[in-house]
Amino acid sequence: MFYCPTRIIFGKEAMQKAGAYLVNLGTKPMIVCGKQSAKLCGALDEAIAILKKQGMNATIFDDISENPSLESIIAGKEMFITKGCNLLIGIGGGSPIDAAKAISLAAANDLEKEQLYKTELFTKAYPIVAVPTTSGTGSEVTQYSVLTDFRQKKKAGLGHILAFPKLAVLDPKYTFSLPDTVTLHTSLDALSHLLEGLYSNQRNPLVYPLVYKGIASIMKCLPQILQDKENYAARVELMQASLYGGMVIAQGSTTFQHAIGYPLTSHYNIPHGLANALAMEAVMELYYPAVKAELEGLFAYLNCTYSSFISWLKVLPFQQHHALSDSFIEEAIPLVMSARNMALNPVEISEEQVRLVYEKIRMPQ
C-alpha cells in the first residue's frame, strides 16, 4: 500500500501555480514561519503576493525557531483562533511546517499543551499548505510533526493522517540562500529518511525505487552544491530526493536511527540532520544482518559496496564526534528506549547497544 494525499507542485514558479488551489482551501490564511529564512529566500513575499491576488490577506506568525516548542504551538493556536483564520501555510524548513501541522490540530481540536501528543483527541484539522525552503525533512508530504518540550529536554514526534498537508509547493530556488551547513545537515536528514525506508519493519518495496534514486541523487548532488551554490540542476535533484524521503517515511516511519538523535538535539542543540548522521554508521552496522538483502540491493544500484558507502559518508564535511557527558548518556538511554519509533526496528535494540552507539559518537575511531 502507498498513500500520499498531498497535491504536489514542483519546480519553477511553483508558488504562482499554487494560487488556483489555495482559494479552495481557505479564505483566512495564517502563515507560520521563522524570523528570517522564509523572508531571505523570497518565499514569504511570494506567498503574500499570491494570496493578495486571490483576495486574501495573511496573518503572519513568525515565532517558530529550530525545534518548535510546545509553547510556540499553543501561542500559534491562540493567534489562529483570535484572528479567525481557517488555513495554515507553513513556510521554511521542517520546523515551521511541523509547527503548522501541530497548530492546525491544536486549533481544530482545542488542545492544550499537555494534549498535543494525545493523537486519540485528533478528530479534525484545518487545511495545511507546506512550502519547504530546505531539502531535508520531507515534512511537506508526511503526517508527522516533531516538537520539543524544553522543560523536560524531550524531543518527540506525533503522527496522524489529519496532519498530511493538502498542498505542497516546492521551488528549488528557495534553497539558494541556505548556508552550506544547513544544506549539508538537511541533506543528511533526507538520507536518514531514505535509508529508513529499507530499515523499518513497515518497509514497503513499492518505495524502494524512491529510496534508490533519492540516495543516488544525494551522493551525486550534495558535493556538487557544496562546491557550487548556484548549481540549479543539482538543487532540483536534491529537493526531489528530500521529497522522496518524505514519501518513504510516510509509509514506513522512522526507527532507532531517528530516536537516538532526538536527545542529542534537545540536550546539546545538535541540528537534527547532523544528529542522525553521527549515528548513521553505527546504526547501519547494527541493522545490517537483518536487512542485508535490502542494503545489498541498494549498493548494487549505487554501484558501490558497504565499505565505500561508509567511506563516502565520512568524507562529508561534518563534525564526526561530539563530547557527550556520562550523565547525558545515562539520561538519554531511557528516552531512546521509550521512543515510539523503536517499535519499528528490524532487530531488537538493547540499552547497552544504545550506550555503545553514544560512546562511538563521542569517541574518535
- When pLDDT is averaged across residues 185-189 and rounded to a whole number, the result is 97
Is residue 89 within 8 Å of 64, Cβ to Cβ? no
Is residue 51 within 8 Å of 22, Cβ to Cβ? yes
Choice among 32-46, 130-144, 189-203, 288-302 with the minimum mean pLDDT: 32-46
Q: Which of 132, 143, 138 is nearest to 169 (CA)?
A: 132
CA atoms within 13 A on the CB side of 133: 28
The pLDDT score that the predictor gives to residue 225 is 97
- Considering Cα of 104, then 109, then 112, then 114, what sign does the dihedral take? negative
Q: How confident is the model at residue 315 (pLDDT cuts 50, 70, 90)?
A: very high
Q: What is the DSSP string of 258-322?
A: HHTHHHHHHHH---HHHHHHHHHHHHHHHHTTTSHHHHHHHHHHHT--HHHHHHHHHHSSS----
- When pLDDT is averaged across residues 354-361 and rounded to a whole number, the result is 96
Q: What's the pLDDT tens digit per position in 4-41?
A: 999 999 999 999 999 999 989 999 999 999 988 888 89
Q: Which domains does the chain have, with CATH numbers?
A: 7-174 (3.40.50.1970), 179-362 (1.20.1090.10)
The pLDDT score that the predictor gives to residue 319 is 87
- When pLDDT is averaged across residues 272-277 and rounded to a whole number, the result is 95
The pLDDT score that the predictor gives to residue 40 is 87
The pLDDT score that the predictor gives to residue 65 is 85
Q: What's the pLDDT tens digit per position in 29-77?
A: 999 999 888 888 999 999 999 999 999 999 999 999 888 999 999 999 9
Residues 337-358: b if buried by 16+ CB within 10 A, e if exposed: eebebbebbbbebeeebbeebb
Q: What's the pLDDT tens digit per position in 146-184?
A: 998 877 777 888 999 999 999 999 999 999 999 999 999
Q: What's the pLDDT tens digit per position in 85-139?
A: 999 999 999 999 999 999 999 999 999 999 999 999 999 999 999 999 999 999 9
The pLDDT score that the predictor gives to residue 364 is 67
Proportion of the chain above pLDDT 70, given as a percent: 99
Coil, helix or strand at residue 198: helix
